Structure 1
Amino acid sequence: MVNKLIKAIVIMAASAWLLTSCATLFTKSKQEVTFKGVPGTTLVDKDKNRKVAEIAPNGFATTKLKKQLKSMTLEAKKEGYKTEDFQLGTKIQGAFWANIILGGIPGMAIDAATGKMKKFETDLLDVTLSPFENAVVAETVTPVPLLPGTVTKENPGVTDAEKAILRWFFDSDPRGARVYWRVISNVPSEVKNTNESYLTTTPLEETRSFNIPGLNMSNANNVTIEIKVTKRGYEDQIKRYNVRQAIDQQEISGFFELVPKQF
């Protein structure tokens, strides 16, 4: 009777150990995060005093960061710009609760100790800095010659806005979602509505023009770009952007945190 009891205890202990080992495999220790800001901006983890990333000439930087329990404080600095701190917050991820079910207290403790119980609350953080009023960089910037058909907010009405060139950036969690876009016009006699057109899957990062016939700086406020993101097993998500505002910012971008469908 005693031998049977000992065997039962050994089996239960071994099973718990196996489940705990498997449970911790559901979460990764690192997470990919993209930063958006002024090219040349350096990001430093203030707690560990180490460089995390540097914004590339295209205005973005993507890196893998080790997950941790508390928020990460990032110092962003660039010559001629005001140094600022940005918080990269954390939140408990769904897989952690599955680990508790499979691994119990041991699995929970392992994920908590390694920081894997949490994830950074965003995969895209805007760290754009403000220049000093008398910054030298502002005086030495060489204007880029305008290409035929290019419009800027300093050139309203001189050329057609349909050729405006902007940076497009869209990402999602999880990635691999299909991205569609269409034009919604409040002035259909000048700018026509369009059907949805497929762009690519997330992450999307490219420089391209609107190519919207009839668009100009006068009617751009009455035109909207609709971005739809879809992925099997998740709810569709839609965001809309005012075209005039996008031209002024020289960018159209967004991040979509997809929600699983409830069956």
Structure 2
Amino acid sequence: MRKTILTISLFVVASLCFNSCATLFGKKTHALAVGSDPSGADVYVNGFKMGTTPVELNLKGDKSYTIEYRKEGYESITRVVNTKVGAGWIVLDVLGGLIPVVIDAATGNWNKLDQDAVNAVLEEQQ
């Protein structure tokens, strides 16, 4: 019985030491609301069609994205969505020691999108 408790305790301690806050509790994808005026524009993310406005996309927070709006009779518009580091994760990782900081920095799990929504006003072609 004592050996089992010791094994479980060591497992819990190791799990806490070799993981980090953002890796354990952070979101893997982030919602991005994409809209346009007029609506009905095709939305391309990094060159791949992802839907028609209005649309909500779930994107990874550790990458930057190029959002392109295309609609017949209108000029195409491009927007860029970048990443930013969640300051709260950094504070929690620093309190946890060096290992959580290294893990979250290496995995990019403390990153998130710098915007929750992207909108564009399309102009008619001349």
- TM-score, normalised by the number of residues in structure 2: 0.72
Q: Is the 8 A contact 2:81 2:113 kept in 1?
A: yes
Q: Report the Cα distance in structure 2 between the residues aligned to 1:114 and 1:22, rounded to whole angstroms.
A: 10
Question: 2:51 corresponds to which residue?
Answer: 53
Q: Report the Cα distance in structure 2 between the residues aligned to 1:127 and 1:20, rounded to whole angstroms.
A: 43
Gap change, CA 1:22 and 1:119, over 3 Å in 2: closer
> Relative CO higher for 1 or 2, CA cutoff 8 Å, sep ≥ 6?
2
* Mapping of residues 221-240 of structure 1, within 5 Å: none
Q: Report the Cα distance in structure 1 between the residues aligned to 2:83 and 2:41, rounded to whole angstroms.
A: 23
Q: Does 1:128 align with 2:103?
A: no
Q: Which has the larger radius of gyration?
A: 1
Question: 2:105 corresponds to which residue?
Answer: 112
Q: Cα RMSD between the aligned structures?
A: 2.8
Which has a greater percent of helix?
2
Q: Does 1:39 align with 2:32?
A: no
User: SS state of the match for residue 122, structure 2?
Assistant: coil
Query: Larger deviation: 99-108 or 32-41?
Result: 99-108
Question: 1:25 corresponds to which residue?
Answer: 24
Question: 1:92 corresponds to which residue?
Answer: 85
Give deviations 1:162-214, integer Å, cap 9, x for gaps.
Answer: xxxxxxxxxxxxxxxxxxxxxxxxxxxxxxxxxxxxxxxxxxxxxxxxxxxxx
Q: Report the Cα distance in structure 2 between the residues aligned to 1:90 and 1:109, rounded to whole angstroms.
A: 18
Gap change, CA 1:109 and 1:36, over 3 Å in 2: same
Q: Is the 8 A contact 2:86 2:111 kept in 1?
A: yes
Pairing partner for 2:13 from 10, 15, 18: 15
Gap change, CA 1:109 and 1:53, over 3 Å in 2: farther
* Mapping of residues 1-263 of structure 1, within 5 Å: 15=13, 17-21=15-19, 23=21, 24-37=23-36, 38-46=38-46, 49-55=47-53, 60-69=54-63, 71-133=64-126
Which residues of structure 2 form unaligned runs of 5+?
Answer: 1-8
User: SS state of the match for residue 127, structure 1?
Assistant: strand
Q: Is the 8 A contact 1:92 1:117 kept in 2?
A: yes
Question: How many residues in Structure 1 have an aligned counterpart in Structure 2?
Answer: 116
**How much identity, in percent, do the aligned residues show?**
27
